[in-house]
Chains A and B, each alone.
Chain A
Amino acid sequence: MKGYNLGELEELILLTVGILDQEAYGVAILEEIKNQTGRKVNISAIHTVLNRLEEKGFLKSYMGGATEERGGRRKRLFSISATGRAAIEEVKNVRNKLFDQLPPLALDFSHGH
């Protein structure tokens, strides 16, 4: 196992970027997470994680799409890289593999007696 070492928030944001597909930037990710999970994440935390993920090579980014709301400033749009996708899959596989090995709940009761 190569060990991609994704943190919980990193994993969440990486997935959200994947979902948003070409439209992923700070505020959009914030909104998406809020809508999907009900979690309120601080915008600066999102930026930090995005930068970190880009440094690790899981995300790519380019500047684009100025809007009036932003005072004419461009967005930095993120998209998931091949490594990023591999990382999510890896994490998902590991999780599923481990989940499948959980003993059934009933066993707990039998122990109780």
Chain B
Amino acid sequence: MDTKLKHHPPKWPDRFLEFYCSPSRLEQIQGDAYELFYMNLEERGIRYARFRFLIHVLSFFRWGNIRRSKPSYQTYNQGAMFKNYMKIGWRNLVKQKGTTFISIFGLAAAVGCCLVAYLFIEQVWFKGMHQENKDEIYQITYTAEGENGKTTYGTVAEPISELISDELPNIKAQTRILTDFPVLIHKNESYFQRAQYVDPGYMEMFTYSMLYGYPGALNEPEQVILTEELSTKLFGNTHPIGQDIALITNGEEKLYKVGGVFKSFNDMEMFNFDLLVNMSTHSNENHALPLKDAWASELWTFIQLEKDVDAGSLSTGLAEIVSAQNKINPENPYLSLQLESFNDLVKNSENVERGVVSFLAVAPQILLSAIGIFILILAVFNYINISILMASRRLKEIGVRKVIGSNKGQLIAQFLSENLMVCFMAIVLGLLLAAFIFLPGFNEIASKNIKIDLLNDHLVWMFLGAMLLFITLVSGLYPAIYITSFKPINILKGNQQMGSKSVFTSVLLTFQFTLAIISIVAGVAFVQTNHINANRDWGYDSSDKIIVNVPSSQDYLPLKNKLSALASVIEVSGSQDYVGNWIREEELVFHEEKYEISLLNAEANYPELLDLKLKQGRMFNTELISDTQESVLVNQTFLDELGLIFPLTEKIILDSASYDVVGVVEDFHTIFFQSFIDPMVIRASPDTTFNYLTLKMTSGTAYSSMESVKKIWHEAIPRGLFEGKLQTEVFDREFSDVNGVSNILLFSAILAVVLAALGLFGLVSLNMNSRIKDFCVRKVFGADAGDLSMKLAKRYLIIWGVASVLGGGISIVLVSAFLNTFFAFHSGVGLIPIGLGLLILLLVVAGTVGSQILKIVKANPATILKAE
């Protein structure tokens, strides 16, 4: 017996046994283990006994002996409970229609915004995703030693396409693709359209749905396929198939028949064009080019492999082509040819020069995502605040549930499932909002054609699913955990203080107010900038001037003579580029230093005709021949950047000829306010032909003369494309672009304010409901509306104050940076945007609190207090 008292079974195995063993079996198992331990102890000593004990404990670790979840769980019917959760949740939502509306509407608006942002991003990054054969299509690219090291090019020498069928195995289809801008003529009207010249293999490779005609139409060289938009523009409602059109490329006119019409594209297509033309009819193809020239001309070349063929199997064939090309065209030796999968064209666009995708539109993506996230945060915070308050009215329910035996996990599941219901409704409503309101509006502003394609686009489904999950968890998890963490005894006794006064709610509200202020400031600052820019002095007089293009040099003189003969034309001047458009850049040498400047080549009378303002010196003298040979004008920025003072003591050197600076003009805007004014040199060119003609008209006749100018233009150039415009219109496109952005910003600012207001309203009214007796008692004792308002509004005013400081500070930094990326000339974030932002939010607070105070003022305290 002594040994027994001294020795005990080892502690840790014993505890482990107690830990894992199911309680119903523990006693007999542990008993047997102990008994064996003492038997072994007597027979073989303590070490052996301990070892055996451990072995026994481990051997008892079997499925049948292991403690599993509490037996009560095993009969717990999840399905039935969830049905009940849904029922209770639904009743709660219906009971609180106002707050439910606030939650669902806010979330839906956020989902709608995010969906638009997502779709915009999708159509940038997932272009061509719907093409059936996308996995088998490859673009042939080559790598060569460029100026900045190895460079990969998306275009390859044209004759390579002839080698493909000989050198490469398993090719199903191939096509060259060349984008050109021919003049399209239909019924004596000329149009400027984007044409894509392709081989017939294009239509085997890529699938498009046809509105009229059939995809094989391109097999006939003299047939073209139009997009729906172009077809409507040319033929209206008449049947387009078989209609005649003419295309002029490089001065050669060719007749075609319309063979088919594509259904309107959405923006998911990889290639962007107005009509497809058979490559064999392009003017380059008709002339038998010298071999060298043929190899020097490059274009996109695509191949489609047979199904399940590995692109790697073509590498020997590609190497053959490389050596052939390098033999014939040694000026541009290829290092290698590669196949780039159609699916990677967008992803790799940064590494490929002259590729299919050149512009990823990063700034709008960032702007739209930022707006989407702003709105989402606002809506989710609204929902969190409201659901905490709403749940605080159900504290008793929670207490009773807990007492009956619900554990925390179940309660959280209940709240989350209610949340899921709300979020699901929000997603559906958001989808509708996006499809019928947001997207049409956005497409209008951004001249896009984005659509929600639920049938084909599985990514949209994934996005919506992810949104649902994300919103449900983010908005629901905190309230659910918070509410369920209370002790039932406190709840049922009525001791639990909660909800309206919590710091958490205040923080969220502050954050919301801050976001709202930033949105307002951004919107207002942008509108203000647009307003100021619209009235900004362009630095010259743009009225009464018409600019027309001159397609080729032989047209210049006849056109100029004919236009000068027009009665309303006062003066005509030619220029290489025109003010209001891009101006070419040249290198200038001064004091043996090199500078990049804009060089405007024009006739000597151009500066005066345009009414540029002379600051110092003189304009060109058209009588002086020396002026067209050695004199230039410069703008003020030129002097500033080079640190010079007029008159200059030295000549400037352009293109190794030296020039006198005879005068300085005030700065003027040649390009839109998005860019700074570059240093500019205006040279009175000795040339006799120019690309553009600027007509100075008698006062007020510019607009009305446009038709007659166009007629005269076409008399001189019957088969050309007239691109005449008023000098006042040169920035129209840019203005409409920035107006679009400002509309988007205003829209999001309004939405942000509405959401913040709704959230605040929900919060204040719930808060008021729980304190209505308090307020009535005060009223009975003589508190007036002012006292009561102050009492209710104090907290929100403090929050407004904090948010004002935060929001004001952040928007000065953020919105200024944003304006800087858009404009070189802007009004900055001044007093007006910030003041307006703070004021609007203050009005929102006042309005919300006021509406609740009105309720008290109107209420009869007796009826409210009578209940008890």
Query: A residues within 8 Å of B by Cβ?
Result: 25-27, 30, 42-45, 47-48, 51, 63, 67-71, 73-76
Asked if A73 and B30 sit within 8 Å, CB to CB, the answer is yes
B56 contact from A43, A48, A73, Cβ within 8 A: A43
- Number of contacting residues on B, CB 8 A? 20
Asked if B31 and A47 sit within 8 Å, CB to CB, the answer is no
Chain A minimum-CB-distance residue to B37: A69
Q: When chains A and B are docked, how far (Å) is the Cα of A27 from the Cα of B38?
A: 12
CB-defined contacts of B33 to chain A, threshold 8 Å: 43
Q: When chains A and B are docked, how far (Å) is the Cα of A75 from the Cα of B27?
A: 8
CB-defined contacts of A71 to chain B, threshold 8 Å: 30-31, 34
Q: When chains A and B are docked, how far (Å) is the Cα of A68 from the Cα of B31?
A: 10
Asked if A25 and B27 sit within 8 Å, CB to CB, the answer is no
| A47-B35 contact, Cβ under 8 Å, with A68-B4, A73-B27 | no
Q: When chains A and B are docked, how far (Å) is the Cα of A51 from the Cα of B64?
A: 9
Asked if A48 and B28 sit within 8 Å, CB to CB, the answer is no
Asked if B32 and A26 sit within 8 Å, CB to CB, the answer is yes
CB-defined contacts of B32 to chain A, threshold 8 Å: 25-27, 43, 47, 70, 75
> Can you list 19 A-B pairs, Cβ within 8 angstroms, ordered by A?
A25-B32, A27-B35, A27-B36, A27-B39, A30-B36, A43-B32, A43-B33, A43-B56, A44-B60, A44-B65, A47-B28, A47-B32, A48-B64, A69-B34, A69-B39, A71-B31, A73-B27, A73-B28, A73-B30
Chain B minimum-CB-distance residue to A50: B28
CB-defined contacts of A48 to chain B, threshold 8 Å: 62, 64
**Among all A-B residue pairs, the 9 with the closest Cβ atoms:** A73-B31, A26-B32, A70-B31, A44-B59, A76-B28, A44-B60, A27-B35, A71-B34, A69-B35
* CB of B173 within 8 Å of the partner chain: no
Chain B minimum-CB-distance residue to A52: B64
CB-defined contacts of B38 to chain A, threshold 8 Å: 69
* B:1-39 near A, CB below 8 Å: 4, 25, 27-36, 38-39
| A42-B4 contact, Cβ under 8 Å, with A63-B27, A75-B31 | no
With most chain A CB atoms within 10 A of its CB, the pick from B27, B28, B64 is B28
Asked if B36 and A25 sit within 8 Å, CB to CB, the answer is no
Q: When chains A and B are docked, how far (Å) is the Cα of A71 from the Cα of B7?
A: 12
CB-defined contacts of B65 to chain A, threshold 8 Å: 44, 47
* B:754-811 near A, CB below 8 Å: none
Asked if B28 and A75 sit within 8 Å, CB to CB, the answer is yes
Chain B minimum-CB-distance residue to A70: B31
Q: When chains A and B are docked, how far (Å) is the Cα of A73 from the Cα of B30?
A: 8
CB-defined contacts of B29 to chain A, threshold 8 Å: 26, 47
Asked if B59 and A42 sit within 8 Å, CB to CB, the answer is yes
B36 to chain A, nearest CB (A): 6
* B:541-555 near A, CB below 8 Å: none
Q: When chains A and B are docked, how far (Å) is the Cα of A51 from the Cα of B36?
A: 19
Q: When chains A and B are docked, how far (Å) is the Cα of A43 from the Cα of B39?
A: 13
CB-defined contacts of A45 to chain B, threshold 8 Å: 59
CB-defined contacts of B31 to chain A, threshold 8 Å: 26, 70-71, 73-75
B1 to chain A, nearest CB (A): 9
Q: When chains A and B are docked, how far (Å) is the Cα of A51 from the Cα of B27?
A: 14
CB-defined contacts of B36 to chain A, threshold 8 Å: 27, 30, 43
Q: When chains A and B are docked, how far (Å) is the Cα of A70 from the Cα of B59?
A: 19
CB-defined contacts of A25 to chain B, threshold 8 Å: 28, 32
* B:58-79 near A, CB below 8 Å: 59-60, 62, 64-65
A49 to chain B, nearest CB (A): 11
Known contacts A43-B32, A51-B25; 14 additional CB pairs below 8 A are A26-B29, A27-B36, A30-B36, A43-B60, A47-B29, A47-B32, A48-B64, A69-B34, A69-B38, A71-B31, A73-B27, A74-B31, A75-B32, A76-B28
Q: When chains A and B are docked, how far (Å) is the Cα of A72 from the Cα of B32?
A: 11
Q: When chains A and B are docked, how far (Å) is the Cα of A46 from the Cα of B83?
A: 46
| A70-B62 contact, Cβ under 8 Å, with A27-B39, A76-B28 | no
CB-defined contacts of A70 to chain B, threshold 8 Å: 30-32, 34-35
Q: When chains A and B are docked, how far (Å) is the Cα of A44 from the Cα of B20?
A: 15
Q: When chains A and B are docked, how far (Å) is the Cα of A67 from the Cα of B1?
A: 13
Chain B minimum-CB-distance residue to A73: B31
A48 to chain B, nearest CB (A): 6
CB-defined contacts of A74 to chain B, threshold 8 Å: 27-28, 31
CB-defined contacts of B64 to chain A, threshold 8 Å: 48, 51
CB-defined contacts of A51 to chain B, threshold 8 Å: 25, 64
Asked if A47 and B60 sit within 8 Å, CB to CB, the answer is yes
CB-defined contacts of B59 to chain A, threshold 8 Å: 42-45
Q: When chains A and B are docked, how far (Å) is the Cα of A73 from the Cα of B33?
A: 11
A5 to chain B, nearest CB (A): 19
CB-defined contacts of B60 to chain A, threshold 8 Å: 43-44, 47
Chain A minimum-CB-distance residue to B14: A71
Chain A minimum-CB-distance residue to B30: A73
CB-defined contacts of B27 to chain A, threshold 8 Å: 63, 73-74, 76
CB-defined contacts of A26 to chain B, threshold 8 Å: 28-29, 31-32
With most chain A CB atoms within 10 A of its CB, the pick from B27, B32, B60 is B32
Q: When chains A and B are docked, how far (Å) is the Cα of A30 from the Cα of B39?
A: 12
B449 to chain A, nearest CB (A): 70
Q: When chains A and B are docked, how far (Å) is the Cα of A27 from the Cα of B62?
A: 18
A54 to chain B, nearest CB (A): 12
Q: When chains A and B are docked, how far (Å) is the Cα of A68 from the Cα of B65?
A: 24
Chain B minimum-CB-distance residue to A68: B4
B40 to chain A, nearest CB (A): 11
B559 to chain A, nearest CB (A): 105
Q: When chains A and B are docked, how far (Å) is the Cα of A107 from the Cα of B33?
A: 52
